[in-house]
Amino acid sequence: MSVNADNSSTLDDPNDEKDLGPEKDVRPDTPVDLETGVSQRQDAAVDGVDDEPADPNVVWWDEPADRDPHNPMNWSARRKWGTIAILSMLTFTTPLASSMFAPGVPDVMQEFKNTNQQLATFVVSVYILGFAFGPLLVAPLSEMYGRMPLYHISNVLFVVFTVACAVSSNMSMLIGFRFLAGCVGATPVTIGGGTIADIMPQEKRGGAMAMWILGPLLGPVVGPVCGGFLVDAQGWRWVFWLLAMLGGLFGILTLIFGRETYAPALLKRKAKRLRKETGNENLRSKLDTGISHRELLARSIVRPTKMLLFSPIVASISIYVSIYYGILYLLFTTFTFVFEQQYGFSSSTVGLTYIGIGVGMFIGLTILGPGSDKILRKHKEAGREMKPEHRMPLILTVPAAIAMPVGLFIYGFTAYYHTHWIVPILGTAVIGYALMGCFMTSQTYLVDAFTVHAASALAANTVLRSIFGALLPLCGLDMYDALGLDWGNALLGFLAVALIPIPIIYWKYGERIRTSKRFKVHL
């Protein structure tokens, strides 16, 4: 029996409490500071000053809580990494759809007899626009019903909408279903970080986050490489058929091997089962806030928006990441005409030029993820508190921030002066490393700072960056036409130079801002 009736082990081990996030013992009258991720009642419990007697009607993990196999934090390493592997497959497939279709756009425009270049760009970027709307619903629902129901429903809908794109008979139908596919395709990108927070302790999240974040970054890079050859061989519709097959395969794997990870959802189910078995209708999950279902839904839906608007940490990181993400998609608009027109690449091989960014990202993955975890382990071994700010150490973030303008200057000026094609591609590799430095550290920081509400924090981040990624390419070619490849990329480089102090500010002042009463977010 797992009803926590007669012992206090759930409060005596502060590590257990911290592992499971900020709502361990939250009641309706217990305000939660989303910036610090800790409730007032939990603070008291961790400090050992909570004199409230154990409630026999409160359902918790089987004692001892740090041995209960139903607690996702106690899963075996094999099970945890298997879950992350499946999640990474999903997180790779849906961003892959954002750009894999791009090489087929000329064929689409010809088949549907349309010559509008803005529309040609929009039919690609509308998928990313869907990424901006889906998270607003997906993240809060995952914090109400758990992660797995959202993964399963979204996987099915992704396949359905992708098949609809494959059989589209006109441009409006294609754009509409591309948008809907983007809305549901955002699910693994939005709540994947929350799943990792559910199962990985803080000092091991860096490597897991690096593995997961590689999908949203590598997907748009690998897409054009595969898409170029597939469109050449089978036509643009087969891009969507392949994506539907991948989505279906990974969706089936998720259905078979995926398990719920969200502690509030698991304990809620446990309480429901125990009420049925014991007949005691007063049993409730320890993480049950006592708020009505309707009110909880309303609060949950507005949470990502509220965090984006009123949390300076979430807002500033989202803007920082969004600018980098917008730069990435602006660069994508130049690759085709740069390497086809200036370097003579064919329409099928031009996709290979995206590999440079992918190589840079992979290098960043091998350095930044393990490096971040190593730094946190040192703090833990020294008996110091592990803080979210330790995810943004200057030794990792500043070189990555400097790499962005360096890569942009190399790519822009060497392409403009027709230097050998390998040189601008090397410049994009430097950019890829910088992107990983920004994305991985920022996403992991948000997960560590918000834990149980990590999905909402990442949703706010995804919304803003997706808007930048979808809309900035619409004006990209006009900018390069006006400024040229050299000064167009130099303009982006100067913008990146202005962003170099951002990680320094987070490192030095992040905790002060995050814990300040002035910036508390009450939901």
Residue 245's pLDDT is 96
**Partners of residue 284 on adjacent β-strands:** 58
For residue 449, pLDDT over 90 is answered with no
Residue 33's pLDDT is 38
49: which 2 tokens? Answer: 């000053």
DSSP line for 176-197:
HHHHHHHHHHHHHHHHHHHHHH
Residue 523's pLDDT is 54
Residue 137 backbone dihedrals phi, psi, to 5 degrees:
-100, -40
Q: What's the pLDDT tens digit per position in 342-354?
A: 888 887 788 788 8
**Partners of residue 39 on adjacent β-strands:** 32
Angle at 495 between CA 492 and CA 500, to 5 degrees: 125
For residue 168, pLDDT over 80 is answered with yes
| Residue 115 CB neighbour total at 10 angstroms | 8
Q: What's the pLDDT tens digit per position in 194-224?
A: 899 899 887 788 778 877 877 777 787 888 8
Residue 61 · residue 228 · CB < 8 Å? no
Residue 87 · residue 98 · CB < 8 Å? no
* Average pLDDT of span 256-266: 91
Give the dihedral of Cα atoms 231, 235, 237, 240; nearest 10 deg: -30
Residue 37's pLDDT is 36
For residue 340, name the pLDDT band (cuts at 50, 70, 90): confident
CA atoms within a 13 Å half-sphere pointing along the CA-CB vector of 482: 6
Q: What's the pLDDT tens digit per position in 135-156?
A: 888 887 887 888 999 999 999 9
- Cα four-point dihedral sign 413, 401, 475, 186: positive
- Find the radius of gyration of the CA atoms of the chain: 24
Distances (CA, A) of 372 to 195, 248, 335: 19, 34, 32
Angle at 26 between CA 199 and CA 518, to 5 degrees: 100
- For helices 237-257 and 148-166, give the axis angle rounded to 10 degrees: 160
Distances (CA, A) of 197 to 12, 84, 182, 263, 450: 22, 11, 24, 10, 9
Residue 6's pLDDT is 36
Domain locations in the chain as residue ranges? 72-260+295-519
Residue 25's pLDDT is 38
Distances (CA, A) of 23 to 66, 159, 190, 202: 17, 35, 20, 16
Residue 187 · residue 178 · CB < 8 Å? no
For residue 428, name the pLDDT band (cuts at 50, 70, 90): very high
Q: What's the pLDDT tens digit per position in 10-62?
A: 333 333 333 333 333 333 334 333 333 334 333 333 333 334 456 778 888 88
For residue 322, name the pLDDT band (cuts at 50, 70, 90): very high
For residue 520, pLDDT over 50 is answered with yes
**Is 0.85 surpassed by the pTM of this model?**
no
**Partners of residue 369 on adjacent β-strands:** none
Amino acid at residue number 63: E
Helix segments in 100-116, DSSP class H: 105-111
Residue 127 · residue 250 · CB < 8 Å? no
CA distance 321 to 189: 14
Residue 337's pLDDT is 79
For residue 522, name the pLDDT band (cuts at 50, 70, 90): low
Q: What is the 3-state secondary structure (H, E, C) of 7-31?
A: CCHHHHCHHHHHHCCCCCCCCCCCC
* Average pLDDT of span 78-89: 91
Give the dihedral of Cα atoms 109, 112, 117, 122; nearest 10 deg: -90
Determine the length of the chain: 523
Element (H, E) at 32: strand 32-33
For residue 359, pLDDT over 60 is answered with yes
**Residue corresponding to tokens 């969200």:** 262
Residue 353 · residue 335 · CB < 8 Å? yes
411: which 2 tokens? Answer: 């790519």
Mean pLDDT score across all residues of the chain: 81
Which one is predicted more confidently, 159 or 330?
159
What percent of the chain lies above the pLDDT cut of 90? 27
Question: Which residues, 6 or more positions from 472, have their beta carbon under 8 angstroms from its beta carbon?
Answer: 326, 329, 330
Beta strands 38-39 and 58-59 are unpaired
Instruction: Tell me the Ramachandran region of residue 117: left when phi exceeds 0, alpha when psi lies from -120 to 50, beta otherwise.
Output: alpha
DSSP 3: B
Q: What is the second-level CATH architecture of the domain 72-260+295-519?
A: Up-down Bundle (1.20)
Residue 228 · residue 103 · CB < 8 Å? yes
Per DSSP, the three-state class of 523 is coil
Give CA 282 to chain center in angstroms.
38
Q: What's the pLDDT tens digit per position in 368-395?
A: 777 777 887 887 787 777 788 888 888 8
Distances (CA, A) of 407 to 60, 118, 482, 496: 51, 28, 21, 10
